[in-house]
Amino acid sequence: MLDIIQLLPDSIANQIAAGEVVQRPASVVKELMENAIDAAATEVQLIVKDAGKTLIQVIDNGVGMSPTDARMCFERHATSKIKKSEDLFNISTMGFRGEAMASIAAVAQVELRTNRSEEQVGTLICIEGSALKKQEEIVFTKGTSIAVKNLFFNVPARRNFLKTNAVEMRHVLDEFQRVALAHSEIMFSLVHNDLEVYRLTAGKLSHRIVGIFGKSYREQLIPCQEETPLIKVTGYIGKPDNAKKTRGEQFFFVNHRFIKSGYLHHAVMTAFEGLLPKQHYPFYTLFLEIDPTHIDINVHPTKTEIKFDDERTVYAIINAAVRRALGTHNITPALDFDVDVNFSPDESEMKKVAVEQQPKEIDATGYQKTPREKANIKNWEKLFEGFQKDTKEVEADDKELFDEITTPTTITFESSLNDEKGNISTVEGHTESNLLQLHLRYIVTQVKSGLMVIDQHAAHQRILYDKYLATLQNKNGISQQLLFPTTVTLNSSDYELMKELSEELQALGFAFTFADDYQLVLQGLPAGVRFENEKEMLEGFIEQLKHQQASLQLPVHERMANSLAKRTAIRPNTKLSSVEMNTLVAQLFTSSNPNYTPSGEPTLVILDMVKLGEMFVNP
């Protein structure tokens, strides 16, 4: 019997390793910039063309390499960072695995130029697909220049999986920002398609944050510092008032290495508890300095995951540091020691406070009425008794208002559920008079088979999805202009996302222009969208877009329609009139798929008579 196990050629082994290390152009940017930092560079320049698909070049003024080291750096598991197994638990450099350069050279055309200060001439090495094409002496200044051209030129399948230039450039910007934040003492610059995007001078961390995210961050930074025998925490957190509905501005660095940790993120969010609006995320850039013997970073090739030998203590220290920073700057509520706790307030004052703290009624428009306002309305109704509109006229006005809130044009699909009057009286014996709103969240109605419960938010989401999808396909979105344009400051990745989708957004009805310093001037919203805070609405919409992009492989039109529908659908705790409920249910059953939202969640459930009967039978 013939032997069938054999060693793989180096070229194939390198391509297999490249599948983990080099996932997209941003992966190359991260590895090359970290190598420049390990080379003790004080100036690092990143040059990118076509979001890194055509060219990624990193130029540094570090120590450089000898001719032998320049050739050896492209071999698998060749590194200057560690020499024995014990070094894995005492790592102070960015790189150490010895896989990055070999992996990059396996899937790209690489041109390396380098020279050391004590050498008279430098070295040029050209490699394509792990094959050495050229090595010769050249005249070159101190430092290293690595140009990675035509990424995945020999792996067409991998190249086809890359996203659009705007998406890939957002990932490149993310990696650049992380490395630049971690090393504020180094000067960084970024050039994309011959246009300078960043020029960050060496300086303090606060200056680096402002240089990356904009001048508006200058006023919201709160210093955070805590030092214990185990760990030292330094950095900045943002004021709760400036928290955003979008993620992406939360950074942890352990020994100047960027990491991702949901556990430590929870420690920060717990410290902000009670200070943030719902589903808002604060800015923070926190540096943790810890003895390398207490951590293990050899968990994943990307080195963004890390293990602590005492994770609970680290959690507690970070939580305490953030709480202390918030308290020191009078952000958290404080006890008033000037008030005499033994003094009992007057009974009338207690009643006044109790009345003010009563739950407010929410009308159909989302406005909350206080008890005093409700009493005033009753008095006015008595005053004008006899002059009110006929009930049918009032319902007609309510219906007209609700149609404006939901959609200016009802989207109707061919269905046997539609009758000439546009009602749903043929749906399982449902009639327009037996709708009931339950807990300001569900619509309950009797049907022939039993009881139907409709989630008003999910149902409205399905209706709006069909409307927005048709608008995008027909490119006939109508924009309602804002009385006062709103300026929204975005991070670089969100700014690039808006640029990428600007044509589709305008087709939906958004009206905006791009300004300097990653600012966007919002001038109009899609017709029918009602939001008191346009900035909050836009940030929430962007967050939904990024979530859809990360979790669903859908066409861009469907992702955008789903994201906007989720963001603008009527929320739970919204009171609906009888006409509004009937309109909502009617539009749901004329939609493309009444039973499910675009994301697959059910919009309704039916409890048939058999299930209801079983609930009242003794087990």
User: pLDDT for 379-424, tens place per residue?
Assistant: 444 443 443 444 444 444 444 444 444 444 343 334 333 333 333 3
The structure's pTM equals 0.65
Higher-pLDDT residue of 343 and 202 is 202
Cα distances (Å, whole numbers) of residue 408 to 215, 559, 609:
40, 22, 38
Residue 425 has pLDDT above 90, yes or no: no
Structural domain for 253, as ranges: 216-328
CA distance 426 to 431: 8
Contact in structure between 235 and 221 (CB atoms under 8 Å): no
Domain identity same for 434 and 515: yes
**If you search the block for the tokens 């957004």, which residue do you land on?**
505
Contact in structure between 188 and 176 (CB atoms under 8 Å): yes
Of 144-153, 465-474, 521-530, highest mean pLDDT: 144-153
Domain identity same for 420 and 500: yes
Higher-pLDDT residue of 505 and 245 is 505
**Lowest-confidence segment of 143-147, 252-256, 341-345, 613-617 by average pLDDT:** 341-345
Domain identity same for 38 and 142: yes
CA distance 183 to 287: 11
Single out the residue of 73, 71, 72 nearest to residue 95, CA to CA. 73
Domain identity same for 160 and 36: yes
Domain identity same for 39 and 72: yes
CATH number at residue 246: 3.30.230.10
Q: Please report the DSSP string for 90-135 in residue order.
A: S--SS--SS-HHHHHHHSSEEEEEEE-TT-SSEEEEEEETTEEEEE
**Lowest-confidence segment of 4-8, 196-200, 383-387, 398-402 by average pLDDT:** 383-387
CATH number at residue 47: 3.30.565.10
Question: DSSP class of residue 593?
Answer: -
Contact in structure between 25 and 168 (CB atoms under 8 Å): yes
CATH number at residue 524: 3.30.1370.100
Q: Say how many domains are in the chain.
A: 4
484 domain residue, yes or no: yes
Q: Which of the four pLDDT bands, split at 50, 70 and 90, describes residue 301?
A: low
pLDDT given at position 619: 61
344 domain residue, yes or no: no
How many helical (H) and strand (E) elements, i.e. helices and strands, does the chain have?
19, 24
343 domain residue, yes or no: no
Contact in structure between 221 and 236 (CB atoms under 8 Å): yes
pLDDT given at position 550: 56
Cα distances (Å, whole numbers) of residue 251 to 41, 202, 236:
23, 19, 10
pLDDT given at position 553: 61
Domain identity same for 588 and 466: yes
Averaged over 171-187, what is the pLDDT?
93
Residue 16 has pLDDT above 90, yes or no: no
- Helix, strand, coil % over all residues of the chain, rounded to 5: 40, 25, 40
341 domain residue, yes or no: no
Domain identity same for 590 and 475: yes
Which of 203, 224, 242 terminates a domain? The answer is 203
Of 74-88, 191-205, 539-553, highest mean pLDDT: 191-205
Single out the residue of 350, 272, 373 nearest to residue 318, CA to CA. 272
pLDDT given at position 337: 45
Averaged over 485-492, what is the pLDDT?
83
Residue 235 has pLDDT above 60, yes or no: yes
Domain identity same for 118 and 14: yes
Domain identity same for 55 and 173: yes
Domain identity same for 419 and 286: no
Domain identity same for 18 and 105: yes
CA distance 243 to 202: 27
308 domain residue, yes or no: yes
Residue 53 has pLDDT above 50, yes or no: yes
Q: Which of the four pLDDT bands, split at 50, 70 and 90, describes residue 460?
A: very high
